[in-house]
Amino acid sequence: MNEHRLRIYRTEGVVLARRDWGEADRLVTLFSPSHGKLRAVAPGARKPQTRKSGHLELFTRGHFVLAKGRTFDKITQAHTEAYYPRLRSDLQGVARAALACELVDRFVPEGDTHPPLYDLLARTLERLDAGEPPDVTMLFYQVRLLALVGFAPNLTTCVLCGQPLMPADHAFSHDEGGVVCMSCATPGLRLRPLPLPALKVLRFLQAAAWPTARRLRLDPFTRRHVTALLHQYTAHVLEREPRSARFLREISAHDR
Amino acid sequence: MSAPEGALPTSVARLIEELSKLPGIGPKTASRLTFYLLRAPDEQVNALAEAVRALKLGLVECERCCHIAESSPCAICRDEGREQSVVCVVEDPLDVVAIERTGAYRGLYHVLHGAISPVEGILPQDLRIAQLIARLDREPIREVILATNPSLEGETTATYIVRQIGDRPIRVTRLARGLPMGGDLEYADEMTLIRALEGRSEVQ
């Protein structure tokens, strides 16, 4: 029998968001490889004696049993697979994990299944927890996420004239979603400069597998440039800045 | 789910709309409450209206502990019988009520009015953390008990406060986290069990 027709179903998932609901319940946003993004109520999850709340913390990856409901499905059982304790122990780790989850929450419509994106998110949380280079982990994540949700910036040809890009400094257009060559970069267009090293890094992150990408070493200027460009481009596509991006920026500034 | 225009008198529709803005109350509950009040005795309705109206009048935030009070300093801060060298840091005024109900704590409080939340965009400067740090420099405080919730937001807030306290000669403690009364070991999540093991204590 089709699993979706059953009243009870089980799924793996990552807790993307949760908020208080009713008297003592929680409304949890899960991202599941088989059911996509879904919101479900965890009855009584705010009571101290609940068996579920520890398994429903943000960023937790676990197995969940849900019962179909009228407005929201109900989480009847939850079991943690990975809690990622190391990334929770420092503010920047929390901020990065929050950004990773918020981006999925904002880009993926409810009910949309996206197994490769689920895999990317779960691996990113693992990498952040395992102490992989955090900046490269997040840049890799953002570049791959944009590609998976259909907003990969065009980095090989000029988005205006279509000519292949020469190895030189260029400009980037958020509106056009890619690189503009210097001959097309006329005043009046809303462009930001894109130095050649930053373009190379973005192309590398689009193409390289993680074992190679993780070895990327960035000079501070290029890192700041690529980070800012990706944040601004993502905010442009989403039509608002993710809340946790602001948080990460403030926390990072405080730590410097 | 607002009623079609003209289906309900303006005053009824307005109360339904205002009630449904409250947390945990949807349009259906708001309509039920409104119609209950419509049928309730005048005294009861007036008492409710008066209580709502008076709620914010004359209410201040205590200049010392940031708890809501009728006067500043609040009754707890004014009580000289309380231990003046211990401060219990909580997220919300209701947490003060919960701890006071135990009768087991006789120190002072500091109310943060929330917790750091990257997802909701609540930053340290949105909370009363700066006031807490200023207080530590001003008052003879020897111990800070971090009683923020054992959630990601509560833990993040506690970590941030520890960092802000820095090397001040103050003992910083965190409420023990572990198994709740009436709980079941078999259903506990790993993190709760780890914390419970870390925080185990000698049987008296």
Q: What residue spans define the domains of chain A?
A: 2-82, 87-255
Residue B153, CA atoms < 13 Å, CB-side half-sphere: 22
**A203 pLDDT above the threshold of 80:** yes
Q: Does A208 touch chain B (CB under 8 A)?
A: no
Answer whether residue B75 is part of any domain.
no
Q: Which residue shows structure tokens 């990601």?
A: B152
> Whose structure tokens read 């917790």?
B115
- Which residue in the set A17, A22, A90 is minimally distant from B119, CB to CB? A17
pLDDT digits (tens, 9 = 90+) for A210-234: 999 999 999 999 999 999 999 999 9
pLDDT confidence band for B203 (50 / 70 / 90):
confident
How big is chain B, counted in residues? Answer: 204
Q: Is A85 close to B181, i.e. CB distance below 8 A?
A: no
Q: What is the mean pLDDT of residues A38-45?
A: 90
Q: Is residue B76 assigned to a domain? A: no
Q: With cut-offs at 50, 70 and 90, classify the pLDDT of residue A22.
A: confident
Q: Do B101 and B166 belong together in one domain?
A: yes
Closest CA to B162 of B151, B146, B147: B146
pLDDT in tens, A108-151: 999 889 999 999 999 999 999 999 999 999 999 999 999 999 99
- Best mutation target among A41, A72, A91 (most B Cβ atoms within 10 Å) is A91
Closest CA to A102 of A244, A241, A231, A240: A244
Let me know whether B49 and B90 are in one domain: no
Over chain B, what is the mean pLDDT?
A: 89
Residues B20 and B98 in one domain: no
The pLDDT of B72-87, averaged and rounded, is 94
Shortest CB distance from B118 goes to which of A48, A90, A94?
A: A94
Residue B113 forms part of a structural domain: yes
Contacts of B181 in chain A (CB under 8 A): 48-49
Instruction: Tally C-beta pairs within 8 A across A and B.
Output: 69
The reported pLDDT for the residue numbered B4 is 66
Amino acid identity of residue A156, one-letter, is T
| Tens-digit pLDDT profile for residues B130-160 | 999 999 999 999 999 999 998 889 999 999 9
Place of tokens 């998932």: A13
Question: Fold for domain A87-255?
Answer: de novo design (two linked rop proteins) (1.20.1440)
**CATH number, position B48:** 1.10.8.420
- Identify whether the C-beta of residue A228 lies closer than 8 Å to the C-beta of residue A222: no
Cα(B32)–Cα(B134) distance, rounded to whole angstroms? 47
Q: What six digits make up the tokens of B37?
A: 């009040």
Element (H, E) at A93: helix A91-107
Is B1 part of a structural domain of the chain?
Answer: no
Q: Pick the more confident residue, A256 or B51.
A: B51
| One domain for residues B34 and B105 | no
Q: What's the average model confidence in pLDDT over B156-166? A: 92
Q: What is the mean pLDDT of residues A3-10?
A: 74
Q: What are phi and psi of A191, to 5 degrees?
A: -125, 155
Q: Which one of A55, A56, A70 makes the best mutation probe of the B interface by having the most chain B beta carbons within 10 Å?
A: A55
User: Which CATH number, 3.40.50.300, 3.40.430.10, 2.30.30.230, 2.40.50.140, labels domain A2-82?
Assistant: 2.40.50.140
Please name every residue paired with A8 in a beta bridge, in sequence order, or none if there are none: A67
Give the strand order in the sheet containing A170-173. Answer: A178-180, A170-173, A192-194
The parent domain of residue B33 ranges over 10-55
pTM of the shown model: 0.83
Average pLDDT taken over every residue of chain A: 90
At A1 the pLDDT is 47
**CA–CA gap between residue A67 and residue A64 (Å, rounded):** 10
More confident residue, B190 or B103: B103
Contact yes or no for A94 and B120 at CB 8 A: no
Q: List all residues 6 or more positions away from B23 whose beta carbon is below 8 Å from its beta carbon.
A: A20
Distance between CA atoms of A192 and A226, rounded to whole angstroms? 11
CB environment A198-210: b (16+ within 10 A), e (fewer):
bbebbbbbbeeeb
Our measurement of the distance from residue B140's CA atom to the centroid of its chain's CA atoms, rounded to an integer in Å, reads 25
CB-based contact A39:A19 (threshold 8 Å): no
Question: Which residues in B lie closer than 8 A to residue A102 (C-beta atoms)?
Answer: 118-119
Contact B119 A85 (CB under 8 A): no
CATH number of the domain where residue B172 is located: 3.40.1360.10
Q: Provide the 10 A C-beta neighbour count for residue B42.
A: 7
**B191 pLDDT higher than 80:** no
> Which chain B positions have a beta carbon within 8 Å of A247's beta carbon?
118, 121, 123
pLDDT greater than 80 at residue A155: yes
Please state, in angstroms and as integers, the Cα–Cα distance from residue A87 to each residue in A125, A129, A138, A173, following that order.
Answer: 8, 5, 13, 34
Instruction: Calculate mean pLDDT across residues B4-25.
Output: 86
User: Closest chain A residue to B125 measured between Cα atoms?
Assistant: A250
